[in-house]
Amino acid sequence: MSWGGALAQQLAISHPGCVRRLVLAATVPGVGGVPGRPSALRVLATPRRYYSPSYLQSVAPTLYGGRIRREPELLRQQAGARLDRPPSLRGYLGQLFAIMTFTSLPFLRRISAPTLVLVGDDDPIVPLLNARILQRGIPDARLHIVPGGGHLLILESAEEVGPVIAEFLDGTSPPPP
């Protein structure tokens, strides 16, 4: 999910024998993908949301979109995970540098594992077009769009995406069109 999806792409490209099935959620192909909304990217420039509950509360709708924007009580349920184990400044800056210099675009065709690409259509960080780029670039990829889903779609829409992921990982989901 998110930054981890870029890491998962790299693993699938570099070590295809280690990846039987791949789920990419709310992620990008890196450089060459479609950037998020400037208001969300501005918030991403700092790890402040991991250290200040009031700041997280104020920026979460702009940053995460989806049900977090429409149902603030969901943020209260998720806030603990973000505030309990904040990243170090060095680690956070390392992640920003990594995502700003990463691209999988020239290598997507090398992903041989069946892939499920999940995206919400209300994700301010990762616009829907990125999921379409991944789906078209990966030979055996299926796209699942969560209407109204935001960047935290796996957490905020678990009741919808959980069964989709389970069927895909079990190999019982229909093949991509």
Which residues belong to the active site?
A: 2
The count of residues in the chain is 177
Q: What are phi and psi of 108, to 5 degrees?
A: -55, -35
Phi-psi bin for 143: left (phi > 0), alpha (psi -120 to 50), beta? beta
Structure tokens at 117: 């690409």
Q: Mapping DSSP to helix (H, G, I), strand (E, B) and coil, where does residue 56 land?
A: helix
Q: What is the rounded distance in angstroms from the CA atom of residue 116 to the CA atom of residue 166?
A: 11
Is residue 47 a contact partner of residue 41, using CB atoms and an 8 Å limit?
Answer: no
Burial class (CB in 10 A: 0-12, 13-18, 19+), 84: exposed
Q: Considering only CA atoms, which of 123, 118, 131 is closest in space to residue 160?
A: 118
| Tokens coding 22 | 């791949």
